[in-house]
Homo-oligomer: A and B are copies of this chain.
Amino acid sequence: MSLELKNVGRTFADKQAVRDVSFTAKQGEIIGLLGTSGCGKSTILRAISGLDSEYDGEIAVNGKVTRDIQEEVGFIFQEPRLFPWLTVLDNVTFGLKGSKSEKEKLGKAYLENVGLNDSAHLFPKQLSGGMAQRVAIARALVTSPEILLLDEPFSALDAFTKMQLQDLLLNIWKTYQSTIVIVTHDIDEATYLCDRIIILRGQPGKIDKEIGISEPRPRARGSMLLADIKTEILESLGLNRTEVLVK
């Protein structure tokens, strides 16, 4: 499914959070959103998902302009948002339909994928921060959505787990040809995953730069091209003059 944003903006009670955001994502494209804290990344994802319909501008899904919640959208929120009264497994299977045993089988498979097969019976209050985040990831991925909106999905994870899950995400993307918009603060992650990186800046946030990455997948995490792009991004964020930062 394709996505098209035209001049999207959002104002909360007199305060503009983000303005004039336009971009298109083709079916199967992975788009990265980067930007300083509070510049409106989550706001944009919420607008795309339809959870927030009070934005300005237009969003078209598969060419159709709409403000409703889309079928086949998966959303990994910035917080885990688990249901405290459900076990880990029930949280994962929450959005699934079908017979109980089928759901459980699928749920368990995804729990295995995120490395939580031992924790299926736990309640959210018994999880560590990263575990909770992984449950949320499994819950969103298990429905194999055609559009995936990810809001800093891996930020609470250690480097090792993070890489595993990035690859899990790419696997799913390959299988279902999902269109993905991912918000991240990790530039390595962005360069490893995305076809295009959109950098937002300012308050209210607006698009500052768009960087395309044409390197085919699977990408090597240490590749020179990605390193170059990282430098470009860091520069555009004003971050390569390291000395300045050291007081």
In A145-197, which residues have CB < 8 Å from any B CB? Answer: 151-152, 155-164, 167, 171, 185, 187
Interface string of A215-245 (1 = CB under 8 A from B): 0001111100000000000100111001101
Interchain CB contact under 8 A, B220 and A131:
no
Interchain CB contact under 8 A, B239 and A159:
yes
Which of A32-40, A52-60, A61-69, A95-103 contacts the other chain?
A: A32-40
Interchain CB contact under 8 A, B158 and A37:
yes
Set of chain B residues within 8 Å of A134, measured between Cβ atoms: 37
- The answer to the question of A214 belonging to the interface, with a C-beta cut-off of 8 Å to chain B, is no
In-complex Cβ contact of A159 among B152, B158, B163, B185 (8 A): B185
Interchain CB contact under 8 A, B221 and A242:
yes
Number of this chain's copies in the complex: 2
Interchain CB contact under 8 A, B221 and A247:
no
Interchain CB contact under 8 A, B78 and A156:
yes
Interchain CB contact under 8 A, B243 and A37:
no
Interchain CB contact under 8 A, B159 and A156:
no
Could you tell me the distance between the alpha carbons of A130 and B40 in the complex, rounded to whole angstroms? 11
Could you tell me the distance between the alpha carbons of A126 and B247 in the complex, rounded to whole angstroms? 32
- The answer to the question of A49 belonging to the interface, with a C-beta cut-off of 8 Å to chain B, is no
Could you tell me the distance between the alpha carbons of A160 and B235 in the complex, rounded to whole angstroms? 11
Q: Which residue among A43, A128, A218 has the maximum number of chain B CB atoms within 10 Å of its CB?
A: A128
In-complex Cβ contact of A187 among B128, B130, B159, B238 (8 A): B159
Interchain CB contact under 8 A, B163 and A239:
yes
List of 8 A-B pairs having minimum Cβ-Cβ separation, nearest first: A37-B130, A78-B129, A158-B185, A218-B246, A38-B128, A221-B242, A155-B155, A38-B131
